[in-house]
Amino acid sequence: DLGNTNISGSLGPELVELKNLQYLELYSNNIKGKIPKELGNLENLVSMDLYGNKFEGNIPKSFAKLKSLRFLRLNDNKLTGSISRELTTLPNLTILADKSPELLDFSKDISSLEPALNIPPYSQVIIC
């Protein structure tokens, strides 16, 4: 658990070398840049907590390959784009995200922030 430890800088694709990693807990730090798409190759990952950093850009579509993932916390960052429909089909996954209209836009034409609209029934998406 490396949460709340004043880590700064950015994440590199080298994290994918940690093939047996199950918990990536980097919450409440000062990490910036894009979330590496290579993290989608960490097939044993159960929990990814990136809350409270300065990540920018899109949530990688490669996260839909994380079949073991049960918890994904992304709120309190500077993410844009939307949560991919493929990611929301992972069974038993809870996603915590900001009340950003872009992150909630599953249909590409939602005009409301109402979290119950157009959220696929598989994953639990909690809007913070």
Q: Could you give the CA distance from residue 125 to residue 73 in angstroms, rounded to a whole number?
A: 10
Run of H or E including 42: none
Set out the domains of the chain in order of their start, with CATH numbers: 8-127 (3.80.10.10)
pLDDT of 120 reads 44
What global pTM score does this model have?
0.78
Residues 6, 9, 14: CA angle, nearest 5 degrees: 115
Q: Could you read off the pLDDT tens digit of each residue along the chain, which spans 128 residues?
A: 899 999 999 999 999 999 999 999 999 999 999 999 999 999 999 999 999 999 999 999 999 999 999 999 998 999 988 888 888 888 888 887 766 545 554 444 333 333 433 444 445 666 55
DSSP state of 113: -
pLDDT of 89 reads 84
Q: Could you give the CA distance from residue 57 to residue 78 in angstroms, rounded to a whole number?
A: 7
